[in-house]
Amino acid sequence: MTDVIGALPDARRAARSLAIAPRAEKDAVLRAAARAIEASAARIASENALDVKDARDRGVSDALVDRLVLDASRIASIARVLREIAAEDDPVGEVLEDRTRPNGLRVRRVRVPIGVIGMIYEARPSVTAEAFALAFKAGNAIVLRGGSDASRTNAAIGDAIRGVLPEKWRGVLVLADPTRESVLEMVRAEGAIDLVIPRGGEALVRFVTENARVPVVQHYKGVCHAFVDASADLEDAKRVVVNAKMSRPGVCNALECLLVHESVAERFLPALARALGPACEIRGCERTVAIVPTAKRAAPDDFGREFLDRVLAVRVVADLDAALDHVARFGSGHTEAILTRDESHAARFRSEVDAACVVVNASTRFHDGGELGLGTEIGIATSRLHWRGPMGLESLTTMKWLVDGSGQTR
């Protein structure tokens, strides 16, 4: 038994109080938390250095270590994000619908907090602060279970935030220990936790989903594809693919698999291989290997795999239908892109691809809350219910119906 279950009654009580708090009071706490992060920067950086050293000693790839590192600029960015969340509109109480029925009843639909949210995540210690801030602004308590690889950093960030929480709201932030037992307690806490959000590798999301007794919004793996159509501007396509794969290989919206129309493959793939350079390993189908001698033959499980590294799977396909079939079979519902000058092909791709985000003639890396104008996100949901895509403030609310009458009966 971990300390999670014992903390949940306090989290519920604090969430009830927070749900009716005025925006000014919540924003003041978030700004104080930003100052506390800045004041604790030295400790956070010191603890993070120990976490990073342990990761490197275990042979963790550079791309995954990059997700773990918090240098001075990233710590400053966390504080800036908290201030940005404070500046965003408060979603709680927003009226989504207001109408009067023929019988005189006034019917309104308004946003309200979800209640107590459980967040289970790996690496990315910045999530500790950002998930707290988003949940808090939306009126929720949150139980944060980070991975063991960032346990010291998460604790330092959590201590800084808890130090500025008013006594009545201390329960809105619970840091669970990084054991598997704490995950099981969270996902089985029916009636005590209202929603669980797993964000991490395939094994983590699968474990949470298979064991959960509370609702789950999956942040599943990002097997993101791009299809270079026959009509694509090949120079533009090359730039987009390099950006999508190489700008940050270890993130969920990075490109993992490239599909190329057979009519342009012999012109496009050698130029792309030169642009990617030796830093990126290409694992291709038989036709890809024949065109790019430096490419390795892809294993059967390389298609549909999230590498989170400088590795790109490549397949030459006969046409748009073949590309759509490949995406339907191997995609994870995260982000899919097409590079084309044929609007009819773009239209088909938009309508037929089943994913949280479909991109035409741009990098998959744009599937991000900030880039889409939604502000900070808690992650990118690949579920269909209750949310899909970047999860910002609105996604951490639910709704309530308000019905006002004057004595009507049914």
Q: Does residue 168 contact residue 44 with C-beta atoms inside 8 Å? A: no
Specify the range with the lowest mean pLDDT, choosing from 83-97, 140-154, 297-311, 365-379. 365-379
For the question of whether the overall pTM of this predicted structure is more than 0.75, the answer is: yes
- Would you list the domain boundaries of the chain? 4-217+391-404, 224-366
CATH superfamily of 4-217+391-404: Aldehyde Dehydrogenase; Chain A, domain 1 (3.40.605.10)
Q: Please state, rounded to an integer, the average pLDDT across all residues of the chain.
A: 95
The correct answer on CATH 3.40.309.10 for the domain covering 224-366 is yes
Helix residue ranges, H only, 277-407 = 286-291, 320-330, 343-352
DSSP state of 364: G
Give mean pLDDT, residues 320-349. 97
In this predicted model, what pLDDT tens digit does every residue of 369-391 receive, in sequence order?
889 988 888 889 888 888 899 99
Give mean pLDDT, residues 254-275. 98
Res. 63: pLDDT tops 80: no
Give mean pLDDT, residues 217-229. 92
pLDDT category, 56, cuts 50, 70, 90? very high
In this predicted model, what pLDDT tens digit does every residue of 125-157 receive, in sequence order?
999 999 999 999 999 999 999 999 999 999 999
Residue 282, pLDDT score: 98
Res. 287: pLDDT tops 80: yes
Beta strands in 138-279 (DSSP E): 141-145, 173-175, 195-199, 224-228, 255-261
DSSP state of 89: P
Give mean pLDDT, residues 184-197. 95
Residue 1, pLDDT score: 55
**Number of CB atoms found within 10 A of residue 152's CB:** 20
